Amino acid sequence: FLAMDKVNKLAEKFAQWGIHPFRRQALRKSEDWMLERFEGADGLGAIWPSMLNSLIAMKAMGYEDDHPQVLRAERELKKLEHETETEVRIEPCLSPVWDTAIACAALSASGVAPANPIMRKAADYLVSKEIRFRGDWKYKNEADIEPSGWAFEHENKWSPDVDDSAMVMLALRRMQSSDKKAQQACLKRGLEWLLTFQCKGGGWAAFDKDCTKSIMEKVPFADHNAMLDPECADITARILELLGAEGLTLEHPQVKLGVQYLRSQQEEDGSWYGRWGVNYLYGTWLALRGLRALKMDMHQPWLQKAKDWLESVQLIDGGWGERCNSYEDPVLKGQGPSTASQTAWAVMGLCAFGDPGLPSLHRGIQYLIDMQSNDGSWPEEETTGTGFPLVFYLKYDMYRNSWPLLALATYQDLVKAKANASL
């Protein structure tokens, strides 16, 4: 770092004398890179910080206010503004693909038929959102594979992500689009594409493969150390759930590596850290659900330890809750007021053990039933989504309804399976 700093200081000296031979070329390349990524996306990166920065960059480069690219960037930013009589709130990004996939998974599990017009329309939407473009992931993933994947937003062809893709495929497996052949083809492509993203450590990350050079977090502008995209337990677990649903077994080499990675990430108390949801409740339920989908023996001590942890943090009202401050201090893990989404996660984590008679499970289900409003929805004030731990958290309006519905359906299936097994 000190050597690079000396080089930088020397370059600054030359710049003061009007000598900066690479500046124009560097600015042009940066500008070209940025403008290229405006195409096929709801703004640069389809997320507010980079969209705003692109507008600032264009103004700094001398673009006029009425330049088509400036107007375009302003229009995309405007879509994220929500104005009331008293305030203007800014949504960080849109999440239609993610929300649709989770909602459809919940509806399918609840018995809504694939032929239902609403479900068919949603399936058509999800199939149409497959990205057949080799985006920026190609630089770390050089596999000779047909491009596939899904993004979080309506349009973001440069950055499909593994988590959204797995969730979409889990939903589509139980749905019927208007074009059955196209649906089967995108599921096949998507699965093959996902498998190429497994990292050296055995897990999966969000957008990239083996993007783990920690030196990038040492540069001065790494203000919240979100320069990398390391593999994480929650996404790995969702991939394992999908692989289990697709019939891959514990003997499959990639499944075996994924399970080994997941086990290596378990905390001493039995829980798992949640990178993309708050927090240990999120990581733990996904780990358990993923392992259950692979027909793992859930009576093993290390898995029973996870069950014990979930039960140990159940609140007196029967629910579960955890606040974002558990990222700052793990001592606070599993602590916070009960929420509908986090209770649903814990319920599904406990369902992975196959015993509908668990008292903790009964209490969790009763909490969800008691908290449901007359219109069928659930109230939820807490924030349970994670953008960047310690920095940026997300409140998903759909979480309070989709996850509880999926939890109730999961429990109902468990009760039916137990009853059928006793016949």
- Catalogue the active-site residues: 163
Give me the residue label for tokens 């969209």: 51
Roughly what angle, to the nearest 10 degrees, separates helices 48-60 and 23-36?
140
CA-closest candidate to residue 350, choices 339, 365, 333: 365
For residue 83, report the phi and psi dihedrals to the nearest 5 degrees. -105, 130
The residues pairing with 292 across neighbouring beta strands, listed in sequence order, are: none
Q: Which long-range contacts (CB under 8 A, 24 or more apart) does 50-59 make?
A: 51/76, 51/77, 51/80, 52/77, 57/30, 57/31
Burial of 193 (0-12, 13-18, 19+ CB in 10 A): buried
CA 373 to chain centre: 27
3-state SS class at 117: helix
Greatest alpha-carbon span in the chain: 88
Sign of CA dihedral 365, 370, 373, 376: positive
Burial of 276 (0-12, 13-18, 19+ CB in 10 A): buried
What kind and span of H or E run contains 189?
A: helix 180-195
- DSSP H stretches of helix in 206-300: 233-245, 253-264, 280-293
Angle at 43 between CA 41 and CA 44, to 5 degrees: 90
